[in-house]
Structure 1
Amino acid sequence: MRLSLLAVLFVAGASNADAPVTDLSTTGQLNEQVTQLKRLIQARGAAQVNLQQQINDLQEEVSELRGVTEEHSYKLDQIVDRQRELYIEIERRLSNLQQAPAPTQPEITEQPLVQEYGGSLGENEAYDQAVNLILKERRYDDAIPAFQKFIEQFPSSIYIPNAHYWLGQLQFNKANYNEAKKHFGEVISSYPDSTKRSDALLKQGTVLQKLGDTAAAKKLFQQVIAEFPESNSATLAKSRLVNLG
């Protein structure tokens, strides 16, 4: 009987010796480490989103600056062409004067030519003044009536689509989305060959996104990618589509 009791005690002691012991302090440390890791992942994700937004903003600025460069290059070509035409016209008129049979014969005066050329310069000066209100003087509110007046005075100008684009951008910055939509839409519908078409499509998509029309915004972003696959506007449109999901 005594031997049996000793055997039972021995077995019980062995079982207690083999039972695992849970270290509560170690478990708490692991939980704390997991929590810190989750916080780190969340913070890194937020930083990546912020960085992507900054990249998008920089790409938009580069796109706008590139558009301004293209405008100035185009304007320079136009000025050179006008000067060439002026020189040809002057040579033609001098030749006519030399071939005139008598000095009293009526001859075309230079005044009409000067007025015509002055009119062109007035158009360029008006456009440059409006653009400089944005790029140099940062007088955005004053730029709006300047572009509106330019459109009224020079409705056939080659810069009309650009003026509508700038008005759309200015109204967008003031959160006047319906006005911005009108001007970007004018560029898209009335000037399909304009150099500002890709930017106008992208901005119009952004306007529609602000107005809550996600489906229409996606369609325009896809149109930018389809029509201008290698442009900065297409890169930004892809980013917008990712954000829209």
Structure 2
Amino acid sequence: MKSSRIIPRICSLVIALALICATIVGCASQKDVLILDERLMLLERQNQELQRQNSDMQKLVQKELAVVGETSQTTETTLRSKYATLGAQMDTLQEDSRRLSGRLEEIEYQLNQKLATFEKDHQKIDELSLQSAKLEKRLMEIEQYLNLGSGGPKPTAGVPSKSDAAGSPDKSTTDDQLYNEAKQAYDKGSLDKARQGFQQLIKTFPKSANADNAQFWIGESYYREKWYEKAILEYQTVIEKYPNGNKVPAAMLKQGLSFLALGDRSNARLILKELEKKYPNSNEAKVAATKLTEF
């Protein structure tokens, strides 16, 4: 832009100088004038060439600027599109993350609920197992104490047993007499003597109609002494050995009460419910029903 303005000025100065020289000298030759004209024309052509180049340069610059602008706009559009796509993907990922988080919390809650239920059931099983183990241990101790596996406790050598000390009943003694004598001893509170009489009756007259009653009163004697473990075993003998006897409901009731006295409510409940089921019309079943309401 500056060169296109400077060159015409130079030409004007040159012409002016030439005219000044011609005026001053007044003797400029024709040859000098031609030389100056040629130089002036040369300068004009150079100026025109420079103007053309300048114009071409401006067009080229404008073209490049247009290309750069289009490229910049395209790049900006592309970047905006990619940014929008990335934003949409981020929103989708966040939504998936929230959905998965909610699902995980739900699963965790369900697992905690099942775990709590499992722990409660496991605790109940442990309690039942512990009760069963205690009962088995208690029964084993009773059996060991009584030496049931070898036919009952053995008397010490040289010392007569209670049955020997009492002596064998006379052959003329009947089962009714033995039963009545043992029952009288029981009613008077002579529990050891009563047990000996009932045991002698069962041994001597195993087919007697009084045998199941005698076995029941043996259990009752231990119940009165609050030896509930032993009473439970004697009542069980009534139930198993005399299943058709009239003392089975009473034996079941007192067996349940014995467990209750020991604090074993689970076994007491089972036995009393079984009594209600098997003998629903008995007086013992009514007592059992009343006891069950107290649990």
TM-score computed with the length of structure 1 as normaliser: 0.47
Larger radius of gyration: 2
Which structure is richer in relative contact order (CA contacts within 8 A, separation 6 or more)?
1
